[in-house]
């Protein structure tokens, strides 16, 4: 399986999970990402994975990732990279063994892929709302234009009447 095929299958499966697909970035998360930049967010993801997921033994495994408070935490729950049990189940890395640099980088990449997709979806939503507003505005414009035509017609009619 190529990387693209694996990612396509993974994100399709995540999308089908009611629990996983229920996680979304808040506007606050999005603002934070824009403020920090994606490179910094990726560095945060690297740190979280290295400190909270990579060790062979994690005393609070299953509870090490808060549900909110940082966009990477949200992304971790959405992508099942939140604890070693979820990582075992969804990404097939055995628990009880330290995660190597390539495994860690893969998890970071999954997290960042989800974040980028989430940002794109949020932007699309804004674009759709703007398009709806534009449609309403142009509809209003059309109605006003029609009224102007009617007024002009009435004026011309009354001119005709006045004319001897
Ligand atoms: Zn988990």
Distance between CA 53 and CA 61 in Å, rounded?
8
The CA-atom distances, in angstroms, between 65 and each of 25, 49, 68, 83, 124 are: 15, 10, 9, 7, 29
The structural domain count of the chain equals: 1
Cα–ligand 1 centroid distance for 152 (angstroms): 69
Q: Please give the residue range of the domain that contains residue 78.
A: 3-129
How confident is the chain (164 residues) per 10-residue block, as mean pLDDT? 95 97 97 98 98 96 96 98 98 97 98 97 88 80 72 66 56
pTM: 0.81
Question: Ligand 1 centre and the CA of 57: distance in Å?
Answer: 15
Q: What's the confidence (pLDDT) of residue 161? A: 59
Closest CA to 61 of 45, 41, 91, 81: 81
- Find where tokens 């979280």 sit: 48
**Residue 145 forms part of a structural domain:** no
Q: Please give the DSSP secondary-structure letter assigned to residue 53.
A: I
């Amino acid at each position: 399986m190529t990387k693209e095929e694996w990612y396509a299958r993974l994100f399709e499966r995540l999308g089908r999970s009611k629990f996983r697909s229920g996680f979304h970035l808040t506007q606050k998360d999005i603002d934070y990402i824009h403020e920090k930049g994606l490179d910094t967010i990726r560095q945060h993801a690297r740190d979280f994975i290295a400190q909270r997921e990579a060790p062979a033994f994690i005393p609070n495994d299953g509870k090490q990732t808060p549900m909110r408070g940082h966009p990477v935490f949200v992304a971790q729950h959405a992508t099942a990279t939140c604890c070693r049990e979820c990582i075992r189940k969804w990404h097939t890395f055995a628990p009880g063994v330290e995660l190597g640099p390539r495994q860690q980088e893969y998890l970071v990449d999954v997290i960042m892929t989800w974040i980028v997709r989430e940002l794109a979806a949020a932007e699309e939503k804004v674009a759709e709302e703007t398009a709806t507003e534009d449609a309403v505005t142009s509809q209003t414009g059309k109605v006003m234009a029609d009224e102007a035509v009617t007024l002009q017609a009435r004026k011309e009619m009354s001119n005709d009447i006045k004319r001897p």
